[in-house]
Amino acid sequence: MNPFFLPYGAGATRRLIGLIDAGALADNEHAAETLYSRFGRQLNSTDLLIARVQPWFNATALSNNGDFGPIIRRARRANVRILTYGEGAHHLGDNISSAPYVDLNVAPEVLLRWLASEELKHLAISTSAIFPVGQNLLYRSPSGTYFRTFLRVGNIQHSSYAIDAVAFWLLPHFAEATAVLTDSWSISSTALNLVRLRGDTWRNGEGGRCQIESLPTYFDSRQRTFDACCEVLRRFPIDGDLRLLVLVSAVSTGNSIGRLVRALDAVGIAREQYKTVALYGLAAAGHVETICSLTELKDAEALPLFEPVATKPHRQTVIEIDPRTYFPNRLVENVLSVKKAAGKPGFEFFSAYAGRRAFRVHSDALEGNGQIRRHHAFDIDVCSMLTTQRFQGALTATLTKLPEAPGLLVSPDHVAGRALAQFAQNYIAERFGQGPRKGTILHPSLLPDDSNRVADVVAGLRSDEWIWIIDDVSVSGSRLGGYQANLRGMGFSGHIAFVIGVARPTESEEWERRVNHLTYPLPGGGSNIVECVEQVILPDWGVEACPWCHEREDLRRILAVGSLPPGARRIATKRAIRLTTAKDGLVEDVFWRVNPRHEPVLQNRSFFLDHIGTESEADLVLAVASALERMRHNVGRNWLGTRFPMVNVIDPRDYLGPTDYSESSLRRAFIRSATGPELAVFGLSRRERRDEMFRAIVLSGSADAESESTRLEFAAAALGGRLPLPTLTPAELRILRKTAAGRMMADISKSLID
């Protein structure tokens, strides 16, 4: 159950389409509720939900409203259509929901070809299949051509969902095949899955064994390669019953396919006996049918991503691609120092609101009814910001930009939403002499409810009236998109003004895309308005990535094992309880400490946050997290993270010293805000230097609060596998055990080994 959602069309005709594998959802209330809990906002905005039924399910039994009732009730405004395969073709059924018909003005076969291409594109982009582009970096493909990137198609096969999805779109091409030849063993699992999927639909269940073979290597121009590939081809029965599907992972120049055609001729396989299909097209090679074309993909400099490099490498790092495995033959590691430029864009924002409890970590976001909407590793409390003159003045200035009085004011039904709505109501009354004509609605999505109250209010608006939507924080933009889609679904054709307290995308370009989506031209002229009071870059980490959620679960696990001695067990239990009960998030206690903190978080001004004396631990961690997230999206080679085969990690001196970041609180903030791969060091000499710096800190013998907290932070990171501990000698362990936190660290290290 791996749904994905994507827009179809543009402007006023734009529609959101969702695709789900529906077999597990049919007549399953729990599965539908799980889907809604994870993707509720997207489902609320979906115009057409396509439920794909794989051939092993009984499509007839799954094709009625009753069986899909659970998911229909949760995607109430969407048309729901079932996608099946049979008799050699894909079939898209009629709408089985009660929602008004959505006309996409496109033939079903055209829509399905587009959907197949988009899903394969999604698989390529969302996995490690496309190798990263880097400054002064080239890939030498098995053909000998140089590229700035490389597509390893085998990497899209990261789950059973992905393998099933690819095979489903290939089924029409495989309908009459008696054998499959793949151009690489790396996609042989897709061929095997084709046979499994076809199963009882092949010749009314009477099909026999389907032979599958793979070429041993990239088909280059050498004679020995030709001979080796011909040896594989001779394994197929050369008779009139052979129907061969030649499955190619990706086609660029088409030279290797031309050589394969000559080899097929050489072994006696006639051209009418085989059909060639490529999963991906990287160039305009019209002689081969492809499922997905990637020719329109561009890099950060708007250059075609898969365009060959015409000039020979000059002082550039070249990564050779192995012609048998299609894996790179080397790993390129770069060590990046966190510079002032990374922290500067967020410095003024975080310094302005520091010390006001506006920032917190490990926080549950709640709806008005108290239900958890989602979890935020890094969270912003707009209510606290609203108490400052800076935010009040900026919000007033933002509202002043809006040209017309609203006929309706909308805000989410939670604490911050209600506070912003009250502020806006006061402003509207003072500026226009009266409140919104249709009042204020506090609602999480504007999805019409059973009482039709929302629909009735919206229906009472005139086409020339404005709706003001005031939201506290925009992380992914799904709530704003949901508001817009549901208003459109209720027939509202007027203007919408979106005002967001804090826009916090993961990169600036993401916010620009969000604004473009919300401000498309309206049928009657003009467009919607999107304004934000503050904007900052932050990671969008939920439960799966939250360092404090990981710490809580790691402590629970180690406590359940019972391997810790009594003293360490008391410290670990106290910390686990604190993390479990922190539903409103942590402002202090962000770092693990033996005793409460009494000293200021910072002793001096930093690149990330000004030293004001009242800054909290959460203030510092969010400021550092913002800087690291900005580095993750750097253009060029100096981005932070792991994009195989390139690994760009944080310089260990930034969190172990000696560098400008000598304050222990900054070092702990780095460890909390970075991922495990970003803290890893692969080169032997660099790893040895990191271990030396690590020993210098933890074996210093100092028992002050900051040193003790640093030891516990190292222990927590080691427990979660984010910061591997070096092996300590017995003498070093005796030194480490001289302090309480050191004993805890040593006991955790021992429990990990045991």
Report, in angstroms and rounded to the nearest whole number, the Rg of the chain calculated over CA atoms. Answer: 29
Please report, for the domain that includes residue 233, its CATH number.
3.40.50.2020
Whether residues 391 and 323 fall in one domain: no
The number of folded domains in the chain is 4
Whether residues 195 and 321 fall in one domain: yes
- DSSP code, position 727: P
Q: Can you tell me the distance from the alpha carbon of 719 to that of 571, in angstroms, rounded to the nearest whole number?
A: 14
What average pLDDT does the segment 162-188 reach?
93
- Residue at 547 is within a domain: no
* pTM, 2 dp: 0.81
Interval 720-742: pLDDT, tens: 888 877 888 889 888 888 888 88
Chosen domain end from 519, 535, 551: 535
What average pLDDT does the segment 349-357 reach?
96
Helix H or strand E encompassing 484:
helix 478-489
pLDDT at residue 706, as a whole number: 81
What average pLDDT does the segment 22-39 reach?
67
pLDDT at residue 203, as a whole number: 41
Whether residues 227 and 81 fall in one domain: no
Q: Can you tell me the distance from the alpha carbon of 422 to that of 293, in angstroms, rounded to the nearest whole number?
A: 50
- Residue at 675 is within a domain: yes
| pLDDT confidence band for 622 (50 / 70 / 90) | very high
Which residue do the tokens 């020995």 mark? Answer: 224
pLDDT at residue 714, as a whole number: 87
pLDDT at residue 146, as a whole number: 92
245 DSSP β-pair partners = 180, 275
Label the pairing between strands 79-86 and 359-366. Answer: unpaired
Whether residues 241 and 183 fall in one domain: yes
What average pLDDT does the segment 387-399 reach?
97
What average pLDDT does the segment 609-615 reach?
90
Whether residues 513 and 600 fall in one domain: no
CA nearest neighbour of 660 among 589, 581, 718, 605: 605
Which residue do the tokens 């992972």 mark? Answer: 249
661 DSSP β-pair partners = none
Q: Can you tell me the distance from the alpha carbon of 135 to that of 584, in angstroms, rounded to the nearest whole number?
A: 43
pLDDT at residue 636, as a whole number: 65
Contacts of 734 (CB under 8 A, 6+ apart): none
Which amino acid, residue 426? Answer: N
- Where are the extended beta strands (E) located within 420-526? 440-442, 466-474, 495-503
Higher pLDDT, 751 or 85: 85
Whether residues 609 and 746 fall in one domain: yes
Whether residues 153 and 293 fall in one domain: yes
What average pLDDT does the segment 81-87 reach?
90
- Residue at 352 is within a domain: no
Q: Can you tell me the distance from the alpha carbon of 618 to that of 379, in angstroms, rounded to the nearest whole number?
A: 9
Interval 305-337: pLDDT, tens: 898 888 777 778 899 999 999 999 988 888 899
Whether residues 169 and 270 fall in one domain: yes
Q: Can you tell me the distance from the alpha carbon of 468 to that of 465, in angstroms, rounded to the nearest whole number?
A: 10
Chain center to CA of 22: 22
What average pLDDT does the segment 13-23 reach?
84
Whether residues 8 and 85 fall in one domain: yes
- Residue at 120 is within a domain: no
Higher pLDDT, 126 or 117: 117
- Residue at 115 is within a domain: no
Q: Residue 499: which domain range?
A: 359-535
Q: Can you tell me the distance from the alpha carbon of 125 to that of 122, in angstroms, rounded to the nearest whole number?
A: 5
Whether residues 462 and 519 fall in one domain: yes
What average pLDDT does the segment 672-692 reach?
85
CA nearest neighbour of 204 among 56, 92, 87, 89: 87
Interval 62-82: pLDDT, tens: 545 446 777 888 787 899 999
Structure-token pair, residue 441: 């609605």
SS3 for 147-191 is ECCCECHHHHCCCHHHHHHHHHHHHHHHCCCCEEEECCHHHHHHH
**645 upstream amide cis, omega within 30 of 0:** yes
pLDDT at residue 200, as a whole number: 40
Chosen domain end from 310, 329, 348: 329
The total of other beta-carbon atoms located within 10 Å of residue 131's CB is 22
What average pLDDT does the segment 404-418 reach?
94
Q: Indicate the average pLDDT of the chain.
A: 87
Higher pLDDT, 69 or 57: 69
Q: Can you tell me the distance from the alpha carbon of 486 to that of 6, in angstroms, rounded to the nearest whole number?
A: 16
- Residue at 60 is within a domain: yes
Phi-psi region of 88 (alpha: psi -120 to 50; beta: other; left: phi over 0): left
Q: How many CA atoms lie within 13 A of 735 on its CB side?
A: 13
Q: Among 64-68, 252-256, 368-372, 503-507, which stretch is predicted with the lowest mean pLDDT? A: 64-68
| pLDDT confidence band for 256 (50 / 70 / 90) | very high
| pLDDT confidence band for 593 (50 / 70 / 90) | confident
Which amino acid, residue 82? Answer: I
pLDDT at residue 670 above 90? yes
Label the pairing between strands 646-650 and 641-643. Answer: antiparallel
**142 upstream amide cis, omega within 30 of 0:** no
Whether residues 530 and 563 fall in one domain: no
The percentage of the chain sitting over the pLDDT mark of 90, rounded to a whole number, equals: 48
pLDDT at residue 595 above 80? no
pLDDT at residue 741, as a whole number: 85
pLDDT at residue 204, as a whole number: 37
| pLDDT confidence band for 149 (50 / 70 / 90) | very high
- Residue at 351 is within a domain: no
Please report, for the domain that includes residue 408, its CATH number.
3.40.50
SS3 content of the chain, % helix, strand, coil (to 5): 40, 20, 40
- Residue at 723 is within a domain: yes
Higher pLDDT, 748 or 597: 748
| pLDDT confidence band for 689 (50 / 70 / 90) | confident
pLDDT at residue 370, as a whole number: 61
The total of other beta-carbon atoms located within 10 Å of residue 395's CB is 23
Interval 221-240: pLDDT, tens: 999 999 999 999 999 988 77
Whether residues 452 and 516 fall in one domain: yes
Chosen domain end from 313, 329, 345: 329
| pLDDT confidence band for 437 (50 / 70 / 90) | very high
What average pLDDT does the segment 609-637 reach?
91
